[in-house]
């Protein structure tokens, strides 16, 4: 079974998420090999990583204790998957979200890996029981789901297959901590894991409120960005309850009936109809027109905000 030494990291798929993983593992001092079915993608990824690391270093935001050149020297491209698997202690799959493609890749890996390496998928919503069904090395498999953009948002959900060995979870948990991510253990697989279940619960209610004309789309977003989101960046919904009264027991005594009354009024799953989608889109486009230039600029601004927030969180934790 998996040893406690993480070893080198192999990343399969050098798109958006593969590139971010490469930077994160290098920031933790790990040797990283990047593989892609398209060799040009690897070349592009290496160039993009170099540029991003230099910018991060200049702004004092490069993660880890190594310089950008030291981190860059740890990352290399590779074109032979079989050779790349040798010496790898952790393999992070980052190919497009397609069950058949991912299953094919894990079946291929199953034939060539030893019984030590951890096989991990970045999938956002495919269940481990589907991805890893029938693999000889299933004990070494799990989902490690990052949040976009992973360099700035540290959460990763670790989701086991029913047969994943506890040692695989433990070792991956420690590896994620080592590279500065915040792992959480999902004990048992479930559709949407935890993050997307919470996200979709919020989207569902947001949509109903807008569709029923109770609040405008831009005000709805403000409820989160200037309201709930302010504290959720630091404390979760459960701790919020704990602090908003004299502890959790007191909160539930005070607000149990009110919460239940409101929760009973939640409507059915929205069908995200064309009419409401257009209404919401129109409102979104007032501030951010949906062309690549405006969307790109806004994403850059969002990443800058997240980067500063991450710094603030680190400062607050060390106080």
Q: Which is nearer to ligand NAI, 142 or 210 (CB)?
A: 142
Q: Which is nearer to ligand NAI, 89 or 146 (CB)?
A: 146
Q: In DSSP terms, which residues pair with 160 in a beta bridge? A: 142
Minimal distance, residue 237 CB to ligand NAI, in Å? 22
Report residue 179: phi and psi, to 5°: -95, 10
Q: Is 27 in the site for ligand NAI (CB under 6 A)?
A: no
Q: Is 34 in the site for ligand NAI (CB under 6 A)?
A: no
Residues in the chain: 319
Which window, 29-37, 166-174, 179-187, 227-235, contacts ligand NAI (CB under 6 A)? Answer: 29-37
Report residue 239: phi and psi, to 5°: -65, -30
Which window, 130-138, 142-150, 232-240, 241-249, contacts ligand NAI (CB under 6 A)? Answer: 142-150
Question: Using CB under 6 A, which of 2, 9, 11, 17 touches ligand NAI?
Answer: 17
Q: Three-class SS of residue 24?
A: helix
Q: How far is residue 21's CA from residue 179's CA, in Å, rounded to a whole number?
A: 10
Minimal distance, residue 65 CB to ligand NAI, in Å? 26
Site for ligand NAI in 285-314 (CB under 6 A): none
Minimal distance, residue 112 CB to ligand NAI, in Å? 14
Q: Which is nearer to ligand NAI, 94 or 210 (CB)?
A: 94
Q: Which is nearer to ligand NAI, 153 or 215 (CB)?
A: 153
- Binding residue count for ligand NAI, defined by CB under 6 A: 23
Q: How far is residue 9's CA from residue 21's CA, in Å, rounded to a whole number?
A: 10
Question: Using CB under 6 A, which of 36, 157, 189, 221 touches ligand NAI?
Answer: 36
Q: How far is residue 303's CA from residue 292's CA, in Å, rounded to a whole number?
A: 16
Closest-CA residue to 38 (of 16, 13, 11, 18)? 13
If phi over 0 gives left and psi between -120 and 50 gives alpha, with beta otherwise, what is residue 216? Answer: beta
Q: Which is nearer to ligand NAI, 179 or 210 (CB)?
A: 179
Q: Which is nearer to ligand NAI, 17 or 169 (CB)?
A: 17
Numbers of helices and strands, H then E, in the chain: 14, 8
Q: What is the DSSP annotation of 25-77?
A: HHHTT--EEEE-SSHHHHHHHHHHHHHHHHHHHHTT---SSS-HHHHHTTEEE
Minimal distance, residue 298 CB to ligand NAI, in Å? 15
Q: How far is residue 77's CA from residue 43's CA, in Å, rounded to a whole number?
A: 7
CA dihedral 298, 299, 301, 302 (to 10 degrees): 120
Q: How far is residue 223's CA from residue 119's CA, in Å, rounded to a whole number?
A: 40
DSSP state of 114: -
Site for ligand NAI in 68-127 (CB under 6 A): 94-97, 105, 122-124
Minimal distance, residue 17 CB to ligand NAI, in Å? 3
Question: Using CB under 6 A, which of 6, 8, 9, 13 touches ligand NAI?
Answer: 13
How many Cβ atoms from other residues are within 10 Å of residue 61's Cβ? 15
Binding site for ligand NAI (CB under 6 A): 12-18, 35-38, 41, 94-97, 105, 122-124, 145-146, 148
């Amino acid at each position: 079974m998996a040893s406690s030494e993480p070893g080198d990291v192999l990343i399969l798929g050098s798109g958006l998420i593969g590139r971010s993983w490469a930077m994160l593992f290098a920031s933790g001092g790990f040797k990283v090999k990047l593989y892609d079915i398209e060799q040009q993608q690897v070349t592009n990824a290496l160039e993009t990583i170099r540029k991003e690391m230099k910018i991060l270093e200049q702004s004092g935001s490069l993660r880890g204790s190594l310089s950008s050149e030291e981190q860059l020297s740890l990352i290399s491209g590779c074109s032979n998957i079989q050779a790349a698997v040798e010496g790898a202690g952790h393999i992070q799959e980052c190919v497009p979200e397609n069950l058949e493609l991912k299953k094919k890749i894990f079946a291929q890996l199953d034939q060539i890996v030893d019984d030590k390496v951890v096989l991990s998928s970045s999938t956002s919503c495919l269940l481990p029981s589907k991805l890893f069904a029938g693999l000889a090395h299933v004990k070494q498999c799990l989902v490690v789901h990052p949040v976009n953009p992973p360099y700035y948002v540290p959460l990763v959900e670790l989701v086991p297959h029913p047969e994943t060995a506890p040692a695989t979870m433990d070792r991956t948990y420690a590896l994620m901590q080592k590279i500065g991510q915040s792992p959480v253990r999902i004990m048992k697989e479930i559709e949407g894991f935890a993050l997307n279940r919470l996200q979709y619960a919020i989207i569902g209610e947001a949509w109903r409120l807008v569709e029923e004309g109770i609040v405008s789309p831009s005000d709805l977003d403000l409820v989160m960005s200037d309201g709930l989101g302010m504290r959720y960046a630091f404390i979760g919904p459960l701790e919020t309850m704990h602090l908003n009264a004299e502890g959790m027991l007191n909160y539930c005594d005070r607000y149990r009936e009110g919460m239940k009354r409101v929760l009973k009024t939640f409507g059915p799953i929205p069908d995200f109809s064309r009419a409401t989608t257009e209404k919401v889109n129109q409102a979104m486009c007032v501030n951010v027109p949906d062309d690549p230039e405006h969307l790109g600029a806004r994403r850059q601004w969002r990443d800058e905000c997240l980067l500063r927030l991450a710094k603030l969180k680190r400062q607050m934790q060390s106080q």
